[in-house]
Amino acid sequence: MLSIKNLHVSVHHKEIIRGLSLEVNAGEVHAIMGPNGTGKSTLAAVIAGKEVFEVTSGEIIYKSRNLLEMAVEERASEGIFLGFQYPVEIPGVSMTNFMKTAVNEQRKYKGLDPLTASEFLALMEAKKKLVDIQSKLTNRSVNEGFSGGEKKKNEIFQMAMLEPTLAILDETDSGLDIDALKVVANGVNALRRPDNAFIVITHYQRLLDYIVPDVVHVLYEGRIVKTGGKELALELEEKGYEWLKESNS
Amino acid sequence: MPSYLIREHQVEKEQHDILSEVTSGDYKYGFVTDIEMETAPKGLNEDIIRFISSKKNEPAWMLEYRLKSYRKWLEMTPPGWAHLKINDIDYQDIIYYAAPKPKKELQSLDEVDPELLRTFEKLGISLEEQKRLSGVAVDAVIDSVSVKTTFSETLAGLGIIFCSFSEAVQKHPELVKQYMGMAVPYGDNYFAALNSAVFSDGSFCYIPKGVRCPIELSTYFRINAAGTGQFERTLIVADEGSYVSYMEGCTAPMRDENQLHAAVVEILAMKDAEVKYSTVQNWYPGNKKGEGGIYNFVTKRGICKGNNSKISWTQVETGSAITWKYPSVVLLGDHTTGEFYSVAVTNHHQQADTGTKMIHLGKHTKSTIISKGISAGLSNNSYRGLVRMGKKAEQSRNFSQCDSLLLGDQCGAHTFPYIKVENKSSIVEHEATTSKISDEQLFYCMQRGIGTESAIGLIVNGYAKEVLNKLPMEFAVEAQKLLSVSLEGSVG
Ligand SMILES: Nc1ncnc2c1ncn2[C@@H]1O[C@H](COP(=O)(O)OP(=O)(O)O)[C@@H](O)[C@H]1O
Ligand SMILES: [Mg+2]
């Protein structure tokens, strides 16, 4: 589904991703772990198409297409979803209106008619249940005044609404208490299907108790330095990231 | 402009529309007898004013009023304080009287500028409306005349007078004479004086004592409403204990051969009366290079004459090359309320200098100002407001919130708040913010599949929500679309 080969990415002439390769197949859940500042969010943003990040070499193929040639909103409509590490606030725009616009723009891209108001509301009710999000959250402005936990749950809610093919969750677990963490994990698990895939970026292995990954990668200084099964996450938890530095210097 | 009354008939009409489109070749009653065109020669002098007045068959007092205004105007000079760059206007190069001429009738929408049609579509204007606005012949059966007639019968039953200004001069001279110039005296400012001398037509509205006008009054319904003119004049009088919500303007882009527009709107609210005035202004702003476009110099003022009265102005300004407009409220009675809610959008080379004046004279008076400026392109957008608490305006309050939103870094936003407090018990609060649409916000929207233009529309409408919420439902939906359309191509 997603194939990244020898990717190099710079921001303001500073190289952040330095030769990264990654293969993600349908039905898989990949976890990417690694210390702060190693380029995890950068990788997520590049896949989503954020412009400040300049791809200097390498390629990203998604569903057999050159992803790097696609516009941000096109990537989204083709099923790429990014759960942001720091979701931004959009004052005055209700979640309902925001989601309705997003759902219908994606439908338009696919050549489908927009959902009617009642169809949309029914969809929203169903997805709210799925991710256990409170009704009042969708009446409020996008992320405005949301607590950290609410913001993260809101990302999962949006993911459920948009039913992506490839969802990248960037530290969606950070700062969550155990209940919120379960909500996030349950959301992901409920949406797992043989034809979609997840990349879960996390700092802690805690989340991986609830979302069981097929593959775990360790990202360090812009490269994937180690790949393994779910036991790798436990190993990291025990040893910390220090040993990486030694084995890579 | 189209109202819910029209909407109710829409489905039916659309069916008719399709029918008439299919068979348009057979509809020949689009013809209008050639109305005798009468136009005054260019320029302005007392003879021209006499000519205008006699064409309109006006009583002597009206002519006197015009002449008095003209003489005052001669002594005045155009204001230079606004944050605007204005080319000199040659007042002798303008035609001040032309009998209302029907737009050239087209046989079908195929003949209309496709650019204009695309805009109509984006604004969600029905086919019926599109035709009406672009001057396409409309089948007599589906014309809205019948709707308008029922409408005016309802009003007449309540004693509400709603007619053109010219008609009011003929039929209700005592009311016009009594109230005209009360809120905006003929010598108030340069443009008001000019308007008082040469005003073409406009609307007159009188709500009798204790009557709550049951429908949003829209100029759209005014029977025989000629196209909005260059020098419009509106007078709204709400008698004791009455209520009216009045809408003027139109979200559809309006073109006019006349570059200079100088309108006057006066509102008078008697004891316990309430007037809600909403407007959407979308005059031709000129092309992307800043050529052409309407100069819009408007004087709008309301007086809360009686105790407990309330006047609120809500405006959405997206058009015109230059906008100069300060809808104001004089809070004369005790316990009166004045409100001003404004969204002003400027793009390309547009310039807007707009705001309000709240003049507190009575005790326990209250005013609220919410102004949302949105600037894009190379435009300039200024808020200019005066809040004055008079000596006797004890225990009065004002709250002002003036926000500016910038799209891009070549546009300007300016805030000029003037505050004068002449008593010790009144409170004036002023808040101002300037923000930009952040790349993060845009990226967030786009990551959800929302294209740049829609994303900007969404963010801008969110920003302006507080004001848009004050518009009558019907108008609000159109205004939202209008904001998005006005800012097209402003980012990226
Ligand atoms: N927009 C940016 N401008 C400059 N530097 C950036 C930008 N975004 C990220 N970086 C830098 O890139 C590096 C990787 O950051 P990031 O991808 O956020 O790491 P992680 O998510 O693994 O913590 C950091 O050194 C960070 O400072
Ligand atoms: Mg990060």
SS3 (DSSP) at B164? strand
Q: Does B459 touch chain A (CB under 8 A)?
A: yes
Whether B11 is in a domain gets the answer no
pLDDT exceeds 90 at position B411: no
pLDDT exceeds 70 at position B424: yes
How far from chain centre, in Å, is Cα B69?
23
Q: Which has the closest alpha carbon to B77: B198, B191, B196?
A: B191
Helices (H) and strands (E) in chain B, counts: 14, 19
Whether B14 is in a domain gets the answer no
| Neighbour-count burial for A70-81, b at 16+ CB within 10 Å, e otherwise | bebbbbbbbbbb
- In the beta sheet, which residues pair with residue B435? B405
Nearest Cα of chain B lies from the Cα of A168 at a distance, in angstroms, of 12
The pLDDT score that the predictor gives to residue B75 is 95
Whether B18 is in a domain gets the answer no
Q: Which residues of A touch B463 (CB under 8 A)?
A: 91-92
Whether B15 is in a domain gets the answer no
pLDDT exceeds 60 at position B26: no
Q: Around B278, how many Cα atoms within 13 Å sit in the side-chain half-sphere?
A: 23
Read off the pLDDT of residues B242-288 as tens digits, 9 standing for 90 and up: 999 998 876 666 666 667 889 999 999 999 999 999 998 888 777 77
What's the total number of domains in chain B?
Answer: 1
pLDDT tier, A173 (very low <50, low <70, confident <90, very high otherwise): confident
Q: Select the residue from B445, B460, B463, B484 to test the A interface by mutation, using most A Cβ atoms within 10 A.
A: B445
- The set of residues, in sequence order, having a beta carbon less than 8 Å from that of B108 and lying 6+ positions away, is B21, B24, B136
Q: Around B327, how many Cα atoms within 13 Å sit in the side-chain half-sphere?
A: 27
Q: Which has the closest alpha carbon to B303: B124, B183, B482?
A: B183
Q: Select the residue from B374, B405, B436, B447 to test the A interface by mutation, using most A Cβ atoms within 10 A.
A: B447
Task: Tell whether ligand 1 has an atom less than 6 A from the beta carbon of residue A222.
Answer: no
What's the predicted TM-score (pTM) here? Answer: 0.82
The answer to whether A88 contacts B450, with C-beta atoms less than 8 Å apart, is no
Whether B1 is in a domain gets the answer no
Q: Which residue has the tokens 């579509």?
A: B121
Read off the pLDDT of residues B97-117 as tens digits, 9 standing for 90 and up: 776 555 555 667 777 667 666
The pLDDT score that the predictor gives to residue B254 is 64
Whether B16 is in a domain gets the answer no
Distance A47 CA to ligand 1 centre (A): 15
ipTM of the complex: 0.96
Task: Tell whether ligand 1 has an atom less than 6 A from the beta carbon of residue A16.
Answer: yes
Average pLDDT, chain B: 82
The pLDDT score that the predictor gives to residue B153 is 77
Owning domain of residue B189: 25-487
Q: Which residues of A touch B465 (CB under 8 A)?
A: 92-93
Q: Please report the domains of chain A, with CATH numbers, ordered by start residue.
A: 2-88+149-248 (3.40.50.300)
Distance B421 CA to ligand 1 centre (A): 52
The contact set of A with B (CB < 8 A) is 48-50, 52, 71-73, 76-77, 81-82, 84, 87-88, 90-93, 97-99, 101-102, 105-106, 109, 141-142, 158, 162
Whether B5 is in a domain gets the answer no
pLDDT tier, B464 (very low <50, low <70, confident <90, very high otherwise): very high
Whether B17 is in a domain gets the answer no
Q: Does B170 touch chain A (CB under 8 A)?
A: no
Read off the pLDDT of residues B48-103 as tens digits, 9 standing for 90 and up: 899 889 888 999 999 999 999 999 999 999 888 778 787 788 888 888 877 655 55
Read off the pLDDT of residues B473-491 as tens digits, 9 standing for 90 and up: 777 877 888 888 788 766 6
The pLDDT score that the predictor gives to residue B87 is 79
Q: With pLDDT > 90 as the criterion, what percentage of chain B qualifies?
A: 48
The pLDDT score that the predictor gives to residue A236 is 82
Q: What is the DSSP string of B248-277?
A: EE-SS-B--S--EE--EEEEEE-TT-EEEE
Minimal Cβ distance to A88: which of B440, B454, B464: B440
Task: Tell whether ligand 1 has an atom less than 6 A from the beta carbon of residue A202.
Answer: no
The pLDDT score that the predictor gives to residue B463 is 93
SS3 (DSSP) at A208? helix
Average pLDDT over every residue of A26-37: 93
pLDDT exceeds 80 at position A133: no
Tokens at residue A106, please?
A: 């994606």
pLDDT exceeds 50 at position B145: no
Q: Which residue, judged by its Cα, is nearest atom 2 of ligand 1?
A: A11
Eight-class DSSP state of B283? B
